[in-house]
């Protein structure tokens, strides 16, 4: 069953289309990866799915409802976003940051209640950050901060999580830990996940399907085997690569070939 439908979406910041005739569907419980070079429209597409931007043409449907007709707080009950990083100026505790995810459910006049604290505690348990619930968010490492942002997203109790290059500043270990956690939530809690990533190999490893953007147009969409091919990657990224099969998973694996290899 489709939970997100993009119908002929077009968007421009000026004279040129940033996204041009983007049509695809995402099924409930799917893990979809969006890949493509810089400037291909990935982050813009995420913002349109989240309702932060509205397309000049076309539409986004969430559970069959046009996002233009959904109130902002109701969107936040359905969709949560985990960004690259979320600058937090004040020294909030981890629990306070996670509690921010309850905002769409509280409204303007209601204070946090027992149920809200239970939901926040559960989100911290799932993401393994409960031991430092009382610590300042500014004292944490990059990987720990990203787990806090996932917990904040989970506290919203969304159907959909959007990841906008959420592992961009993490090392390899923390990238894999992050995606392992998201995949577990995807499988065990049935969350629909859409991730924008520059790491094609991570997309291949974790995503059910991959959407490849080039200059605001869908160049390909399908399983990693269908989309992550040598011809597609060379054409879209204009890079000299080899695509073979990961010897452990059998999934496509991209290796960058240097123009001038070291001796």
User: Residue 9, Cβ neighbours under 10 Å: how many?
Assistant: 24
Q: Which of 187, 198, 191 is nearest to 80 (CA)?
A: 191
Q: What's the gap between Cα 100 and its chain centre?
A: 19
Q: How far apart are CA 226 and CA 197, in angstroms?
A: 18
Q: Is the pLDDT of residue 97 over 80?
A: yes
Q: How far apart are CA 32 and CA 208, in angstroms?
A: 6
15 class by beta-carbon count within 10 Å (0-12 exposed, 13-18 middle, 19+ buried): exposed
pTM, two decimal places: 0.91
Residue 76, SS3? helix
Residue 82 or residue 227, greater confidence: 227
Q: Is the pLDDT of residue 87 over 80?
A: no
For residue 182, give the H/E element and its range.
Answer: helix 172-188
For the chain, the average pLDDT equals 91
Per-residue pLDDT reduced to its tens digit, 183-220: 999 998 899 999 999 999 999 999 999 999 999 999 99
Q: Which of 257, 252, 223, 218 is nearest to 240 (CA)?
A: 257
């Amino acid at each position: 069953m489709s939970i997100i439908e993009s119908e002929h979406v077009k968007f421009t910041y000026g004279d040129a289309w940033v996204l041009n005739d983007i049509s695809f569907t995402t099924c409930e419980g799917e893990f979809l990866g969006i890949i493509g070079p810089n400037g291909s429209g990935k982050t813009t597409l995420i913002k349109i799915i989240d309702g932060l931007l509205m397309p000049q043409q076309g539409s986004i449907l969430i559970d069959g409802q046009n996002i233009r007709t959904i109130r902002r707080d109701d969107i936040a009950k359905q969709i949560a976003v985990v960004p690259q990083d979320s600058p937090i100026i004040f020294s909030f505790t981890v629990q306070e940051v996670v509690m921010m995810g309850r905002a769409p459910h509280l409204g303007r006049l209601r204070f946090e209640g027992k149920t809200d604290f239970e939901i926040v505690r559960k989100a911290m348990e799932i993401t393994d950050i409960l031991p430092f619930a009382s610590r300042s968010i500014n004292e944490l490492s990059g990987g720990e901060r990203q787990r806090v942002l996932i917990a904040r997203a989970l506290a919203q109790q969304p159907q959909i999580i959007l990841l906008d290059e959420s592992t961009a500043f993490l090392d390899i270990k923390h990238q894999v830990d992050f995606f392992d956690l998201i995949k577990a939530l995807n499988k065990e809690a049935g969350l629909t996940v859409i991730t924008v990533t520059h790491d094609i190999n991570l997309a291949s490893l974790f995503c059910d399907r991959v959407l490849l953007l080039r200059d605001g147009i869908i160049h390909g969409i399908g399983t990693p085997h269908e989309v992550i091919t040598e011809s597609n990657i060379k054409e879209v990224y204009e890079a000299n690569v080899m695509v073979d099969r990961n010897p452990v998973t059998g999934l496509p694996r991209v290796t960058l070939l240097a123009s001038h290899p070291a001796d």
